[in-house]
Amino acid sequence: MGPAFSKPLGSRETPIPGVVLFDLPVHGDNRGWFKENWQRAKMTAAGLADFGPVQNNISFNESAGTTRGIHAEPWDKFISVATGRVFGAWVDLREGPSFGAVFTAELDPSTAIFIPRGVGNAFQTLEDGTAYTYLVNDHWSADAQDQYVFLNLADETAAIDWPIPLTDAELSDKDRNHPRLADVTPLGPRKTLVVGADGQLGTALRAALADDPAVEFASRADLDLLDAGLGTARPWSAYGTIVNAAAYTAVDTAETAEGRAAAWAVNVTAVAALAKVAAEHRLTLVHVSSDYVFDGTHALHTEDEPLSPLGVYGQTKAAGDAVVATVPRHYIVRTSWVIGDGANFVRTMAHLAGRGISPSVVEDQVGRLSFTEDIAAAILHLLRTEAPHGTYNVTNDGAEQSWAEIAAEVYGLCGRDGGDVTGVTTEEYFAGKDAAPRPLRSTLDLTKIRATGFTPPAARDRLADYVAALTAP
């Protein structure tokens, strides 16, 4: 029996989420037939994810009745038949509500199927001399073997109706002895790695993700991003997302020779290394950016404003953004005036208020505060909703304020007179000091993040809660 000729390219959904059956155009005449088994542009247009195949494998099966499976591997596969026919069976072995779902279909050269990571795959040849071929998007490695999940071909729950009874089929002993569904440990989701987990944002992410067993946290001591062995430091195929909360943020020290080298190392070289890992393993890379990538001459900064950093810190953050933007799956989360669990402006002002000091504070720099719990919430929102990849401004909402206005508000919340804060210009404040240039206007447009369904809380509300927590007995 030959393949069906001249079918249009098309796709059909199946009962297993992510498993898609394809009809392939096969062109034939008296000499034989021809088909495009994999054509990236056409296949993605037909509904197949651009899954990035890196290896092509072929299984030749001498006799009808050869049966293999049920194996779930930690990568995606695009399966088709070069010659002959197979009865294919697929069982969802992933953790989640579709665990145990079954789909079967007959494949010949005019059909193909996409099988995502964690879906068990099996087939039985229906003709002698059948060649079964599959593209995979990761190379086999010993590290990946502990992510395999197996199911017995004769499992009563899956109840696969094999055309040739398994008692008459050709099976390996290993396949005969795989566990029943009740004894299978489902394959969990790919892991998330939070880098820079001990900083202000990293601490907020730890709190937000504390109950998620699929999330790992790494401090600088746990993972050296500047190590030449980063590419093999972890089994990256087991991960789906890296959140980079690490950064060099000593704005003024970055202007020194030693600080400049450190800023470029952490904010650019290390980021490039993460970007390379993410691109090679098809991971989503979340990277936190800064208002310092702009010169502050625009009243409101949009995501597509050309980068125009003033100082070394801003230059390194802009360079890091440019690198991350080359990763196919990326989110650049641009924020400003970050406040979290650690040393920051609000804590300093509250401390000064408690000591009875009347400070001079810059009044010609304006923007919005960004509380780390809300930055973390926005990052998780982008990931969970699978928002379009790209750059998103994320700060708290409300009217822009100057540093002096925020300081006066902190003083009021601490029971001091806001008038004890004196406003000065940036030039006056830094007179006689070695300081980096700063953008005077740092207000970021929040239209794009709001359009994804995320509404940042008002900065003034968060500030009141934050100061109340600081001053609580």
List the catalytic residues.
Answer: 71, 134
Please give the Cα distance from 300 to 57 (Å, whole number). 53
User: Percentages helix, strand, coil for the chain, rounded to the nearest 5?
Assistant: 30, 25, 45
Q: How many CA within 13 A on the CB side of residue 203?
A: 11
Question: Which residue has 């392939």 as its token pair?
Answer: 24
Query: Sign of torsion, CA 46 16 187 61?
Result: negative
Residues in the chain: 473
Beta pairing class for 370-371 and 55-61: unpaired
Please give the Cα distance from 421 to 429 (Å, whole number). 13
Among 288, 318, 329, residue whose Cα is nearest residue 201:
288
Peptide bond into 79 cis (omega under 30): no
CB atoms within 10 A of CB 270: 24
200-208 and 372-385 helices cross at what angle (nearest 10)?
A: 50
Instruction: Assess contact for 426 and 438: CB atoms under 8 A.
Output: yes
Please give the Cα distance from 374 to 372 (Å, whole number). 5
Beta pairing class for 86-92 and 102-107: antiparallel
The burial class, CB within 10 Å (0-12 / 13-18 / 19+), for 368 is: buried
Please give the Cα distance from 125 to 127 (Å, whole number). 6
Please give the Cα distance from 376 to 370 (Å, whole number). 10
Give 1's contacts (C-beta < 8 A, 6+ positions apart): 85, 108, 127
Specify which residues 242 forms β-bridges with: 193, 285
Give 267's contacts (C-beta < 8 A, 6+ positions apart): 247, 248, 313, 316, 317, 319, 320
Backbone angles phi, psi at 194, to 5 degrees: -100, 115
Beta pairing class for 77-83 and 130-136: antiparallel
Q: Could you give the 3-state DSSP secondary structure of residue 438?
A: coil
Retrieve residue 120's tokens: 């068990």
